[in-house]
Every structure is written in structure tokens, then in C-alpha cells.
Structure 1
Amino acid sequence: MSLLPVAEAQARLFALATLLPAEQTPLVACTGRWLAQSIIALRDQPWAALSAMDGYAVRAAEEPGPWRITATSSAGGPPPASLGPGEACRIFTGAPLPPGADAILIQENAAVEADLLRAIDGTLATGRHVRPAASDFGNGAPLLEAGARLGPAQIALAALGGHGQLPVRRRPCIALISTGDELVPAGAPTPPGRLPSSNAPMLAALLAALPCDVMDLGIVPDDLDAMVAALARAKQADIIVSTGGASVGDHDLVRPAFAQAGGTLDFWKIAMRPGKPLMAGRLDSALFLGLPGNPVSAFVTATLFLLPLVRHLSGAHDPLPPTLEARLASPLPQTAERDDYLRARQGKDGIVTVTSQDSAATAALAMADCLIHRPAGSPTAAQGESVTIIPL
């Protein structure tokens, strides 16, 4: 099986997936999720012409007054009466303007003696310090498009638009399986020949930033029957993720176990470094991703495949990781037949790779804050040259 280009593998992975069903969800539970359907405003905002400042509602043409104060308007209070010529209304921020008023004389620029108001400073023009009705949005106006991620600002917009709940896609469930006779749970004693299991907590930490539920099925030994049984337990999830055992060694049993469990393999081996032995397919209704066992390889492939898949299932308009352009602080050699994803740091002089690019070098990975993407066949890159990075 030939090596598959990264972009083609991502496209094929998305093609395997079916978007999760939408559900109406209270606003407070929508943060970080993606809108399943576009929404429109159900009301005008502001609902009327409102004051943007504390002061007095007046007729601008009557500057500088005097005006006789005849009414008061406050947010949430009764509607103020109309203003006649020479009349003013005491008004507070967010309160509706009385009919006939067209400007706000702010408190700092006003002088009041008895019930007479005069302007003492500033320019008083029509519309001054007034928020016109529907100036933010009008009833029926588009508010948010399907696929938009719902952050605090979007939640506020939906609330002001009259929505108490929104259509978002169901949270996907991800089952994690760690494979290898050498693994012990994180924090357990590690006698010679044993290794703490780091991939599952790492993947759970990566997934914590996304709206999903993670189910850790623990460590599975290098035993075909045990791996088949683990896959059977994981089929209830939307995505099954295994780490380790995806290569071609005698102890790499994920691929034969996946086949024996009834899975259908779509692709295996990607033209990327690190992460070549990644595999993907379906097991009944679940999507399956077999990630490499080395933690750096698992991290990079999760960044490029697992996290985008979760976003895609959740309805994200653009599920792939965002990229930026940055300047190199030191040169890079040419690349070979695979895309390179170099762990790097952003410094005051530009981007510099971390000390080690070995796929097991987690200390170096922990120093990185971005990946430099170098396509296959890229020539030598000089210091100061622009490169594509994926922020971490």
C-alpha cells in the first residue's frame, strides 16, 4: 500500500464520517460547540432608540436651550411621554428616548437650575449619544451561520437575538485504547522494561478543548484476542482511537485485530513524518483511528486527524487546524518524500526547531508551541524565509 498524502488522507477520513444529529441545547451548554443550523434574529436590537449615556434627551435644533425638564426615562421603566418644544427628559444609559427627542445632552455638559436645563459645553447634534432602534440588528436579520463555533460573543448575540437554546450537534464519544505489554498506568511503578502509559492522558488533554466525551478503556496487552475484545467494547463510541501496534512488527496486532473484529480499513500509512503508520476505517457505526505508539507521533497525528475529525463530526465549518506564516530564525534542510511536521518554538527572532525531532522526545515536544509544516520535496529553507506553522 503506497503512502497517502496528508491532505488526501484527511479528506478520506471526513468522507467516512456522518455528521452527528443536531439537538436543541440551552445557551449555557453551547459554549465551544458548533451551530448545526443558521439562526436569525427574533427581535430588534436595540428595541427602540436608546440613550448611550446618562444625561438629558432634547431636541438638537434647540441647542443650547434652555429646556424645561418634564419627564424621566430609565431602562426598564415606563415609556416616557413625548417632548414638546423647549422640553427635556432626564434620561439614563439604556433608556428609551421620548418621542420628539433626537439627541442626548450628557450630564457633564449640562447645567440645571430649578427645572431649567442649559448646555454648557460640547456639540449637540442630531443623533448624538443615541443608539438607533435596530442599529445592531433587526428582526429577521441573519445572526450566525451553520458551522460557526459558539464562544462567549456568539452566545451573547444569540441571547440578544431572542434565543434561549440553539441547535448544536450531539457531543461525540471517543474511546481510547492503549496497546503494549510494556505499558503500565501513569503513576504506577515502572520496573525495568516497563513504560508509563502517556498517550491516553495526552490525548484526553488534547480532546479536553473540544466538546466531546472521552472513555479510556485502559491498556490492552499484545494479544490478538484481547485487542479484538477491546475493540468490541469500544464500538459504542463514535470514534475509537488506539495508540501503538499499528506498524508491521510481530507485536503490532491492531490491524489484524481490527479486521477480525469486523472493521473495514480505508487507508493505512501516511506520507508524513512523524506518524507514517496511521490507519483509519470503520467498525460498525464507529470511526476508527489507529495512531502510532510513540508519543510525539501520536500527538502530531492527533493534531492533524483526530481533533479535525471531532470538529467535523460536531459540524465545524472548517475543521482542519488553522495555519499561520512565520519567519525562520535558522535554516532548515530540504525534505524527502514525506511531509515533515517539525516541533518548534516562536521566539523574538522567528521560528526555531526544538532540540530533538525524535518521535519519542517528549521533553522536546513539551517545549514546542507550534509545528512547522514542510511539504514533501521542499528545498532548503534559509534563515528569514517564511514557513507555514500550526500553532499548538
Structure 2
Amino acid sequence: MIPVAEALERILSALIPAPAETVSLPEGWGRVLARPVLARVTQPPADVSAMDGYALRAADAAAGARLRVIGSAPAGHPFAGAVGLGEAVRIFTGGAVPPGADSILLQEDATAGDGLVTPTEAAQKGRHIRRAGLDFAAGDAVLEAGRRLSARDIGLAAAANHPWLHVHRRPRIGVLATGDEIALPGDPIPPGGIVSSNAHALAALVRASGGEPVVLPIATDDRDAIAAAAEAAARCDLLLTTGGASVGEHDLVQSALAPQGFSLDFWKIAMRPGKPLIWGDLRGTPMLGLPGNPVSALVCAVIFLIPALRRLSGLPAGPVETRTALLGRDMPANDRRQDYVRAELARAADGTLTATPLAVQDSSMLAALARAGALVVRPPHAPAAPAGCSIEIVDLSSLGV
């Protein structure tokens, strides 16, 4: 068995980001930039007013002075002339500051009538003016490559005058569930069978992590069926299998794919749940084989698939983020495997997190996993941990899982 950190390093080192494609601005949300966004314009393009009021010369605008209003400058309609001695231009938020003016007098700090304006408060030079380029200048890199685009980023790219964005294609992940005993939800369940949940949960995780799942038909415990189903994933960026990863008589994934060109990198990881995990290459397509137990499959997907999807999406990739919490109950010393213990997560009024391990940790219990908000990470040979001590957790809700 190899350590979790080594397994993840070998997986990530074998992956490269998906190729770039061009998408329209509205389609850019959630995508990862393949090249930086350089501003095509300066924002704001000229000195503009930050408030409604009067553009004037501060030297003329002492309290009680009387200035002649010579025009107006709404946003998008600059005043054509210049402000001279004793003059003012009515201006509105976003309006271009006319030449000659060096201050904005707020409308609430003035009285106006008969073509004149009288300051009730003295104006200050430079006050309430947003200078040209305050936000960004033409040529500035407003968004760097390798960034997953948020709604704020889309707005920034639009302001920088980009209708199109160069982003990494969403990685296509083939999801193949194997086993004679599983049936699709709603289909007849075979004698002794169960409803297939892994493929649907994994497809949702792929989608939540920015990938495009390609759910393949269930493959029975037959070498030819597994090989034929895997062949359909040839155009995917990664093939994800679930079930058949162990050494039982009906665990056929490796033996079925070996004649098809499958090359094994490693198998078996010192972790719980999820020891029987396969990593290799199927004729140029990376393949990650997850255990069939639902909890094992999803825990392995959190630890290995999410970082893999980040790498394929063009993001910096490494271990999933962890944080600290207080332990909600005593835990015994750990053995040689890294443990991921399902735990309920509670937040106190002061923001303190407490992770309380579930009493039963069986790797088939999806209801317990759905109730868990975190995985408590227990390193190999970790000593006994008392309730109230600080422990490391993976916050599942922060991952969208």
C-alpha cells in the first residue's frame, strides 16, 4: 500500500489541462481562463464625477460665492465647453468632468436658481472626482490565466470590453459503474441486487467541480462487457470506474482492461475507506478505478478526483483544503492507514466548528454520509484524541459535495 500523498502526487503528475476553447462572455461563468484578460479600454475613460452636483474650480467656490451655471454634463453627454472663472457646470454621477473644473460641489451643499449656484459649503480641490484609469487602464491584465471565473469576474471582463473569453474546455469524465447486482433507479432490481447510486453521485461531483460527466451504461461482471463499456470512454479526458477494483472473483476491472492496453501505475492505498483504488492508463486515457462501496467511492472521489478535476480544468491542483475544528468525542489511536472519518459538523455562535464522528462508520451507509458535514482526517499511527482537542477536517459543504 502506498501513502495517500504519494498516490495523489502520481495522479496529478500524469494529468494535463484540457485544451482551450473560445466561449461567449455569458458562457464564461465557472470556466477557467486559459489566457489572461487584457483590458481593451481604460476605466473610467476620463475624469468623471462620483456624485450629483456642480463641476467648478475650487478656488471660486467659497461658501456664499455666486457662480454662473453654463451647462450640464449628464453621464454619456459631456459638456462641450470648458469651465472658466466664476463658472460651474451642472453634473451628474458618471458625467465627464469638463476642462477647467477641478472639483465637484455636492448638490446638497449648494443652492441654485436663476442660472446661478451658491455654495453653502466650500468646495475642495479634487473632491468627488474619479480619475481616468482609477479602475484599470488599457493593456492591464485584469484577470490572470488559471482563474475560475466568478460572476464578479464576468462583470470585470465585460467592463474591459471582452465579448469572448479563452477558457479551458470542461474536462469530460467517463463514469462507468460495474456489477451484476446494480440497477438504475426506477428499473427492476435483480434478485439480491441494489439500486446504483455511485454513478449518479460521482456525476454530480464531477459537475460540481467544473467537469462534464459522461455516464456510461452499467457494465455487468463480464470481461467483454467491461471492455466494451470502457471503449466508449476513449474520447474522455479521464475514465472513472466504480466497483470491481478489489481482488475478489468478480472484481474484473483490471483483468478485463489489460488486453485493451491498460497499464497499471498503482493499486491499493493506505487509507480507510478506499484501500482498493486503481490508477493507470488505458491507451492514452487516464483511468481512476474507485471501490464499489458507496462511501468508499465518494470519499476517494473527494480526496483524488476533485484535485484531478482541478488539474484537468486548468487550475492549480493539490490536496483538497482542510481546516481545523474541535473534536466532538474521544477517538482511539489509529493504525497504519490514513483514516477519513465521517462526522457531523456544528458551528457555535462564536464561529467555532465542532466535528463529532458518527457512531457507525460502515462504508455502505449513504444516509450517514449525507448527514455528515465533514471528514475527520486521522493520519497513520495518530495517537488517541480526546474530545475537545483540535483536529483536521475536510469540510464537505465547501467542496460542493
1:6 aligns with 2:4: yes
Give the one of 29, 41, 44 matched to 1:43.
41
1:294 aligns with 2:298: no
1:353 aligns with 2:351: no
The worse-fitting range, judged by mean Cα deviation, of 26-35 and 352-361 is 352-361
Q: For the structure 1 residues 307 and 348, does the alpha-carbon distance in structure 2 shift closer, same or farther, using more than 3 Å as the test?
A: closer
- Judge conservation of contact 2:55–2:104 (CA < 8 Å) in 1: yes
Instruction: Report SS of the residue matched to 1:241.
Output: strand
Q: For the structure 1 residues 207 and 79, does the alpha-carbon distance in structure 2 shift closer, same or farther, using more than 3 Å as the test?
A: farther
Which residue of structure 1 aligns with residue 108 of structure 2?
108
RMSD of Structure 2 on Structure 1 (CA): 1.8
After TM superposition, give the deviation of residue 192 of structure 1 in Å.
4.3
Alignment-mate amino acid for residue 40 of structure 2: L
Q: For the structure 1 residues 124 and 378, does the alpha-carbon distance in structure 2 shift closer, same or farther, using more than 3 Å as the test?
A: farther
Distance in 2, Cα, partners of 1:259 & 1:79: 76
- Judge conservation of contact 1:344–1:371 (CA < 8 Å) in 2: yes
After TM superposition, give the deviation of residue 295 of structure 1 in Å.
0.7
Give the one of 351, 370, 377 matched to 1:373.
377
Instruction: Report SS of the residue matched to 1:297.
Output: helix
Instruction: Report SS of the residue matched to 2:368.
Output: helix
Stretches of structure 2 that go unaligned for 5 or more consecutive residues are 349-353, 397-401
Distance in 2, Cα, partners of 1:63 & 1:345: 65
Distance in 2, Cα, partners of 1:175 & 1:111: 70
After TM superposition, the runs of 4+ consecutive aligned structure 1 residues lying more than 4 A away are none
Q: For the structure 1 residues 60 and 363, does the alpha-carbon distance in structure 2 shift closer, same or farther, using more than 3 Å as the test?
A: same
The worse-fitting range, judged by mean Cα deviation, of 219-228 and 95-104 is 95-104
After TM superposition, give the deviation of residue 51 of structure 1 in Å.
1.4
Which residue of structure 1 aligns with residue 235 of structure 2?
236
Distance in 2, Cα, partners of 1:384 & 1:41: 51
Distance in 2, Cα, partners of 1:370 & 1:58: 60
Alignment-mate amino acid for residue 7 of structure 1: A
After TM superposition, give the deviation of residue 244 of structure 1 in Å.
0.6
After TM superposition, give the deviation of residue 307 of structure 1 in Å.
2.1
After TM superposition, give the deviation of residue 191 of structure 1 in Å.
5.3
Q: Where does 1:56-95 land on structure 2 (aligned, <5 Å)?
A: 56-61=54-59, 62-64=61-63, 65-95=65-95
Q: Where does 1:219-258 land on structure 2 (aligned, <5 Å)?
A: 219-258=218-257
- Judge conservation of contact 1:16–1:281 (CA < 8 Å) in 2: no
Distance in 1, Cα, partners of 2:174 & 2:271: 25
Distance in 1, Cα, partners of 2:85 & 2:324: 61
Which residue of structure 2 aligns with residue 280 of structure 1?
279
Number of aligned residue pairs: give it: 389
- Judge conservation of contact 1:354–1:367 (CA < 8 Å) in 2: no
Q: Where does 1:1-392 land on structure 2 (aligned, <5 Å)?
A: 3-61=1-59, 62-64=61-63, 65-121=65-121, 124-190=123-189, 192-318=191-317, 320-349=319-348, 350-392=354-396
Stretches of structure 1 that go unaligned for 5 or more consecutive residues are none
Distance in 1, Cα, partners of 2:109 & 2:331: 63
- Judge conservation of contact 1:340–1:375 (CA < 8 Å) in 2: yes
Normalised by the length of structure 1, the TM-score is 0.94
Instruction: Report SS of the residue matched to 2:217.
Output: strand
Q: For the structure 1 residues 253 and 134, does the alpha-carbon distance in structure 2 shift closer, same or farther, using more than 3 Å as the test?
A: same
Q: For the structure 1 residues 79 and 24, does the alpha-carbon distance in structure 2 shift closer, same or farther, using more than 3 Å as the test?
A: farther
Structure 1 residues 267-311: Cα deviation after superposition (integer angstroms, max 9, x where no partner)? 111111111111111112311110011111111111121222122
Alignment-mate amino acid for residue 175 of structure 2: L
- Judge conservation of contact 2:183–2:190 (CA < 8 Å) in 1: no
Instruction: Report SS of the residue matched to 1:234.
Output: coil
Distance in 2, Cα, partners of 1:88 & 1:30: 44
Distance in 2, Cα, partners of 1:131 & 1:91: 13
After TM superposition, give the deviation of residue 173 of structure 1 in Å.
1.2
Distance in 1, Cα, partners of 2:379 & 2:346: 23
Instruction: Report SS of the residue matched to 2:251.
Output: coil
Distance in 2, Cα, partners of 1:368 & 1:20: 33
Q: For the structure 1 residues 248 and 143, does the alpha-carbon distance in structure 2 shift closer, same or farther, using more than 3 Å as the test?
A: same
Percent identity (aligned): 46
- Judge conservation of contact 1:238–1:285 (CA < 8 Å) in 2: no
- Judge conservation of contact 1:231–1:261 (CA < 8 Å) in 2: no
Distance in 2, Cα, partners of 1:59 & 1:345: 64
Distance in 2, Cα, partners of 1:191 & 1:226: 18
After TM superposition, give the deviation of residue 80 of structure 1 in Å.
4.1
Instruction: Report SS of the residue matched to 2:324.
Output: strand
Structure 1 residues 52-80: Cα deviation after superposition (integer angstroms, max 9, x where no partner)? 22222222232333222112112222444
Structure 1 residues 78-106: Cα deviation after superposition (integer angstroms, max 9, x where no partner)? 44421112211111111111112222222
Alignment-mate amino acid for residue 83 of structure 1: V
